[in-house]
Amino acid sequence: MRASVLAVAIVVCPNICMGQQAAVAKQTTAASQAPATLPVRRVVLYKTGVGYFEHQGEVRGNQDVTIRFTSGQLNDVLKSLTTIDPKGRVSNINYNSVAPIEQRLGALRLPLAAGVTAFDVLASLRGVRVEVSARGAPPVQGRILGVDRRINDKAEKPTEVRELSILGGAGQVRSFELSPTLSVRVVDREMRQEIGRYLDVIGSTRERDVRNMTISTTGTGARPLFVSYVSEVPVWKSTYRLIVPSDGKAFLQGWAVVDNTIGEDWTSVELSLVAGSPQSFIQQISQPYYVRRPVVPLPNNFVTTPQTHAAGLSAEQLQSARVQGGVTRDQVIARSLRERELGGVVGGVVGALPEPPAAAPALPYEQLRNIEPAAQPSDLGDLFQYRIKEPVTLRKDQSALVPTVNASIETEKVSLWNRGAASGHPLRAIWLTNTTGLTLDGGSITVVDGNAFAGEGLVDSLATSAKRLISYGTDQGIIVTGRLQSGPGRVSRIRARDGILIHETEDRATWSYAIRNEEATSATVLIEHRLRKGWKLAAGQSPIEVAGDAPRFRVSLAPNQETVYVVHEMLAGESTVLLSEVDDNFVARFSQGARPAPLLAALQPLLDKKTEVTKVERELSQLVSEQATIVSDQQRLRENMKALRGSPEERVLLQRYTNTLNEQESKLESLRQTIAQLTRQHETLRNELNRLVAELSFDISG
């Protein structure tokens, strides 16, 4: 293994030196060109993990400007980059492309991958002229035949050795064991350069995340240059400190945690923090993309025939067609730059908050009331923006706390109890009403009560004048016990109208909350009563607010007071059935929970009429069945009569069949009359039943 490492050093050392010389030459050339820098002047950070950046500076004549990015940032930059040179023009924008290393290595003459050894390099140089020098022997030149492995079994322990074979000028073949004392020099100048290119490609992977974008401008004299783009950045975070005094109004101080990861320093930038989620996505457009193209054979005939082409519009004509009756795009851009220059940027660096006045209050937290708000709020459609008043300075790869809120805020101390809590003690909470005039971004909040740390909580995004509960600890001075009491159970109601029977049920439940205040001060307890699925509050319950499926009830207690608060629930159910489908069995099932006697009394006329209808239907069914049997038997007799041949015995049988048919015909006539009579009776009864169904109406509760 040691021989392998030394062999690598022998092969690549001359080329490393050549690469270093080339790098020095490039640095010298770059220094002579001295590209201009374009500092960041405005930064807008969003909650979607992107930031909007504006660079402004001055260029002179034909000057280049370089901005550094990472590969991840470059994708967003290429989607959103905007450059404005109102008194000149941007002639070219380029950046160092990073093709996949396999693609770049494939373009070299050496068939080498990224992770090769020195032996692989020598094996790839088969046929190349080299000079081999061994210690104590004159150099030998020849062309490489190959690198072979063999086992040295002469030693105590067999080992594997590698040999380099070369073909000398006189045709002799010589082999050399690759060892630390063996030196191999590539004689072919072009092949040495190719090895250098291979090493350059391998070495470039160490800096593949640095992408330098060069913006070339063309013009005369000094003039402003504006560049803007969107880049991937860490999400900015909000964090708050809520100062709760023993008396008076509470005070809220807000900070934003921001990170500078774009590769450029922020020096006195105008910083805005936007609370919202504009749509953004990632697209790998900075990576060279190759597609597999079809191979098309060459045609047999290369002669082309002349053809004519339609006329097109020139670039000037196209531009003229785009601008009709209004200002041009360049005029709009120039005007925007003039307005920005007139507005100016206030100088300063974000650091500590301003000094308190000389006559400071005794309590240090009260000094916060005399500090001016650090951020100016503004609406951006569905978004909200904190525009930091003072310019911000933040070096690259550093993070900072930026002040956003310094304002009094309306609060109320409460104890919040939820039935799902594991303890009988409620949570200490602040009922916070956003009276700051700012939309508060969601984040963590630290509560300072009595000039000491009281706990931490979380707050969601809070619009102006919105109200929110923020819990931050356990209230040991309040004990709450909730239990489900035995109630009246299920209440039923059965109604009939418009031919429909409606069965309404209502399950009722009562919850009792025993609350005890063991403190020497008054307390306000919020009972958060989470409703079970399908249940709702009974009539007469008045929560102060409802959060999702949990109505909240306020209970005020004096010092050392104990009380019980009761909440009534109900679960409503309903089923319907057609009155025409009601029978005795159905009533027996349906009357559960209601008084059976009133229900049966109300339905009795309907049930009696249904019984009559059913009786007539049963008689009709029997008569029709008997009629069908006789008709079938007559058909059988007629078929038998057709088969008789006229013999004395057959004539006797024929007479018998005839008598039977006569008797059956008389029976059929009687059946037809009875069926007709019952059919008319059934129709009458059915009409009476329909009338009863339509007119029946009652309301029975039980």
406-456 pLDDT per residue, tens: 888 999 899 999 876 556 889 999 988 999 888 888 889 999 988 888 899
Shared-domain flag, residues 558 and 662 = no
In this prediction, residue 327 carries a pLDDT of 42
Reported confidence tier of residue 396, pLDDT bands at 50, 70, 90: confident
Q: Is residue 636 part of a domain?
A: yes
Distant-in-sequence contacts of 440-443, Cβ < 8 A, 24+ apart: 440/238, 440/240, 440/254, 440/405, 441/47, 441/238, 441/256, 441/273, 441/275, 441/384, 441/386, 441/404, 442/238, 443/237, 443/238, 443/239, 443/240
565-577 pLDDT per residue, tens: 999 999 888 888 8
Shared-domain flag, residues 19 and 165 = yes
- The token pair at 576 is 């319907």
| Mean pLDDT (whole number) for 225-253 | 88
Q: Kindly report the CATH number assigned to the domain that includes residue 119.
A: 2.30.30.520
Q: Is residue 603 part of a domain?
A: yes
Give yes or no for residue 289 having a pLDDT over 70.
no
Shared-domain flag, residues 567 and 640 = no
Distance CA 61, CA 200 (A): 34
In this prediction, residue 381 carries a pLDDT of 53
Q: Kindly report the CATH number assigned to the domain that includes residue 639.
A: 1.10.287
Shared-domain flag, residues 507 and 650 = no
Shared-domain flag, residues 27 and 157 = yes
Q: Is residue 421 part of a domain?
A: no
Distance CA 217, CA 62 (A): 5
608-642 pLDDT per residue, tens: 888 899 999 999 999 999 999 999 988 888 888 88
Shared-domain flag, residues 28 and 165 = yes
- The token pair at 303 is 């002669």
Distance CA 268, CA 254 (A): 21
Shared-domain flag, residues 575 and 593 = no
22-59 pLDDT per residue, tens: 444 444 343 334 566 788 999 999 888 888 999 999 99
Q: Is residue 511 part of a domain?
A: yes
Shared-domain flag, residues 536 and 605 = no
- Do residues 459 and 485 lie in contact, with contact meaning Cβ atoms separated by under 8 Å? no
Shared-domain flag, residues 697 and 650 = yes
- Return the residue matching tokens 């916070």: 432
Last residue of a domain, which of 149, 183, 207?
A: 207
Distance CA 56, CA 38 (A): 6
pTM: 0.56
Other Cβ atoms closer than 10 A to 668:
15
Q: Is residue 63 part of a domain?
A: no
- Do residues 529 and 550 lie in contact, with contact meaning Cβ atoms separated by under 8 Å? yes
| Mean pLDDT (whole number) for 2-8 | 32
Last residue of a domain, which of 162, 187, 207?
A: 207
DSSP code at position 662? H
- Return the residue matching tokens 């005039």: 437
Kindly list the distances between the CA atom of residue 344 and the CA atoms of 41, 42, 312, 374, in Å, as whole numbers in the listed order. Answer: 11, 12, 46, 19
Tally of structural domains, the chain = 3
Give yes or no for residue 476 having a pLDDT over 70.
yes
Q: What is the DSSP string of 81-102?
A: -EEE-TTSEEEEEEE-----HH
Q: Is residue 176 part of a domain?
A: yes
Shared-domain flag, residues 575 and 590 = no
69-84 pLDDT per residue, tens: 877 788 888 888 999 9
Last residue of a domain, which of 177, 207, 237?
A: 207
- The token pair at 242 is 């809520």
Phi-psi domain of 146 (left: phi exceeds 0; alpha: psi -120 through 50; beta: other): left
**Angle, helix 596-642 to helix 648-695, in steps of 10 degrees:** 160
Shared-domain flag, residues 696 and 596 = yes
The rounded Cα 264 to chain-centroid distance in angstroms is 30
Shared-domain flag, residues 640 and 693 = yes
Q: Is residue 315 part of a domain?
A: no
Whole-number mean pLDDT of the chain? 77
Give yes or no for residue 344 having a pLDDT over 70.
no
Give yes or no for residue 206 having a pLDDT over 70.
no
Domain assignment of residue 9, given as a range: 1-33+99-207
Q: Is residue 187 part of a domain?
A: yes
Reported confidence tier of residue 334, pLDDT bands at 50, 70, 90: very low
Give the residue, 126 or 617, on which the prediction is more confident: 617
